[in-house]
Amino acid sequence: MSERVGKYTLKMSHPVTIRSSVGVAGKKEGEGPLGEYFDITFKDNRLGQPSWEKAESTLQKTAVCELLRRNHLVNADIDVIFAGDLLNQCISSTFGLRELNIPFLGQYGACSTMAQTMLAASVFIDSGAADRAVAVTSSHFCSAERQFRLPIEYGGQRTPTAQWTVTGAGAALLDKSNGEVRVQYVTVGKINDLKIKDANNMGAAMAPAAADTLYHFFVDTNTKPTDYDLILTGDLGKVGSQLLKELLQRQEIDISGNHQDCGLMIFDLEGQDVHAGGSGCGCSGSVFCSYIMKQLKSGCLKNILFMATGALMSPTSSQQGESIPAIAHLLNIVRT
Amino acid sequence: MSERVGKYTLKMSHPVTIRSSVGVAGKKEGEGPLGEYFDITFKDNRLGQPSWEKAESTLQKTAVCELLRRNHLVNADIDVIFAGDLLNQCISSTFGLRELNIPFLGQYGACSTMAQTMLAASVFIDSGAADRAVAVTSSHFCSAERQFRLPIEYGGQRTPTAQWTVTGAGAALLDKSNGEVRVQYVTVGKINDLKIKDANNMGAAMAPAAADTLYHFFVDTNTKPTDYDLILTGDLGKVGSQLLKELLQRQEIDISGNHQDCGLMIFDLEGQDVHAGGSGCGCSGSVFCSYIMKQLKSGCLKNILFMATGALMSPTSSQQGESIPAIAHLLNIVRT
């Protein structure tokens, strides 16, 4: 029985444990600052598949299968899987997971998907609708580039505000046991659209949604940034992270002391030539499910906010002159 | 606190009421057998918009705004909205609903979306995570044709198994009051893929998923088809409906006495030249939210199964030689 706190936030009434997680990454991500923390790193970004889309499906399937293996579970032990990705009709998820025979609820939150799937899984577990749930997402640089921008063979010039879609996946196992790492509060985001139209500047489009969700969470819970060890955003990158801080400053909220962004952590921005940072569902997915979860399990982090943001446009909407609506979903995760 | 019944089914522990609903339809649908039941019918399928995609967004927004108006509610009265559609990156939902300022959880279940959004809303309400939720979906013939098949200007020949994507939307308001029409059980579907590859025969691809979910629901609840007034599928059409009956016959389950399909109800198959019937998220969305809900409210129907099916492929996956995975989510809805 989840309890509503304030206008937008839910408090879990029962223990909702993030039992385990697996972060999977591609070659470039493996060579980045978090390389040693990923559970599985692929040297070949094709993963032996005949297309980039099938490679991305394999990323997601690998993350889930490894998660089950490590926890000595079989597919039938999972009551429901929440999954989503960036590809049209979410085919990384549906094709990656189709053979698992697990009840499936497809989610679409663009790059906010890791937070959205964990949020939905948390409510299902807290309510008794599921005893054990998996939340999973993925992205792949090559499948994203050709769907959202240009075929990689074209060799297009990237703008300074552009971000690099992470090749990676994250899968988390949530259950109702009294585990160490628990979801305490969740906040469902609202769509924000401040009329940014530059599809090469996602950070700017997503920052207002992040500011909105974070603001409401602090109001609802009557807490402040310094109450948390870490305020972790998904893939705002360099531009969006700066804007988020500025937007919150206007509300007299200062997160500069403990804000980090998965998109800024996963790559060496200068050395790896990724411009404004990493992006994609797999960015926050792989970083949260590997590095952050390890920090929580070891007790180095004890009380964090994890908020992934998503840009809810499509190439069609951009071609029709539309701006970029965005959303941010938040979880407060504690180490007991 | 939802209670698990059997392996795949959830029983709502508190009253989860479908308080109200609005079904919106286009011109062709308005001229069909259910024309008089739709709450709003548009004579111009462009809805005054400059593109088909914007027209579809307007369908969805119209359904939600009319739902709020009829129930004397303002946007802030809704705790969460579950929405999804067929377009790439679900832009009908995100652009249609972006101005509403309501916490938003995007869902992707292809044509199963009306069942998926109502299922998720039911669990959130039963758990106390929401007091009032909206479930909404849409589809549009012209935006779907050009995205999934051919531009309509091309005038391509349609195969006999092809279905006609419904221009329409459905929005339902769910709350925790002691209302007349209630969700009693829900079953989350699993992905089924029997390797059908013909993207012009969605009914055949989706029938196995429908049979699987229905079979598990009967086992979990220890009930049989004749316990229900109506077993309503979403858009299996002529081919898929026949296959569903045959697949269930093999399990010695006979639904021939009380099965109907929204795709077969919404059009006059011969007179309106729609081949195997209607399809699209808006098919089951508009039929359930108008005709079926009116039958439930009036007491003509008292105990039904509503199960919408979705084909989880994309044009890219089909072009890469893939088969069509499918899913079906089910709700048992009763008139108290």
Q: What is the pLDDT of residues B320-330, one digit of tens each?
A: 999 999 999 99
Contact A94 B128 (CB under 8 A): no
Q: What is the pLDDT of residue B280?
A: 97
3-state SS string for chain B? CCEEECCCEEECCCCCEEEEEEEEECHHHHCCCCHHHCCEECCCCCCCCCCHHHHHHHHHHHHHHHHHHHCCCCHHHCCEEEEEECCHHHHHHHHHHHHHCCEEEEECCHHHHHHHHHHHHHHHHHHCCCCEEEEEEEECHHHHHHHHCCCHHHCCCCCCCCCEECCEEEEEEEECCCCCEEEEEEECCECECCCCCCCCCHHHHHHHHHHHHHHHHHHHHCCCHHHCCEEEECCCHHHHHHHHHHHHHCCCCCCCCCEEEHHHHCCCCCCCCCCCCEECHHHHHHHHHHHHHHHHHHCCCCEEEEEEEEECCCHHHHHCCCCCCEEEEEEEEEEC
Q: What is the pLDDT of residue A151?
A: 87
Q: What is the pLDDT of residue A57?
A: 98
Question: What is the number of other CB atoms lying within 10 angstroms of the CB of residue B156?
Answer: 12
Count of pairs with CB atoms under 8 A, one residue in A, one in B: 188
User: Quick check: A1 pLDDT over 80?
Assistant: no
User: Quick check: A327 pLDDT over 90?
Assistant: yes
**Per-residue pLDDT tens for B138-183?**
999 999 999 999 888 888 888 999 999 999 999 999 999 999 999 9
Q: Can you give the pTM of this predicted structure? A: 0.98
Residues 162-201 of B with CB under 8 A from A: 188-191, 193
Chain A residues with CB-CB distance to B127 below 8 A: 1-2, 123, 126-129
**Quick one: DSSP state of residue A37?**
G
The ipTM assigned to this model is: 0.98
Q: Looking at CA atoms only, how far is residue A241 from chain B in angstroms?
A: 22
Residues facing A231 on adjacent strands: A259, A305
Q: What is the pLDDT of residue A35?
A: 98
One digit per residue, the tens of pLDDT, for chain B of length 336 reads 688 999 999 999 999 999 999 999 999 999 999 999 999 999 999 999 999 999 999 999 999 999 999 999 999 999 999 999 999 999 999 999 999 999 999 999 999 999 999 999 999 999 999 999 999 999 999 999 999 998 888 888 889 999 999 999 999 999 999 999 999 999 999 999 999 999 889 999 999 999 999 999 999 999 999 999 999 999 999 999 999 999 999 999 999 999 999 999 999 999 999 999 999 999 999 999 999 999 999 999 999 999 999 999 999 999 999 999 999 999 999 999
Q: Mutation test of the interface with chain B: which of A89, A99, A101, A194, choosing the one with the most B Cβ atoms within 10 A?
A: A89
CB contact B322 to A (< 8 Å): yes
CB contact B77 to A (< 8 Å): no
* Assigned token pair, A7: 């206008």
Q: Mutation test of the interface with chain B: which of A1, A101, A105, choosing the one with the most B Cβ atoms within 10 A?
A: A105
B124, B1 contact by CB (below 8 A):
no
Chain B residues with CB-CB distance to A189 below 8 A: 103-104
CB contact B280 to A (< 8 Å): no
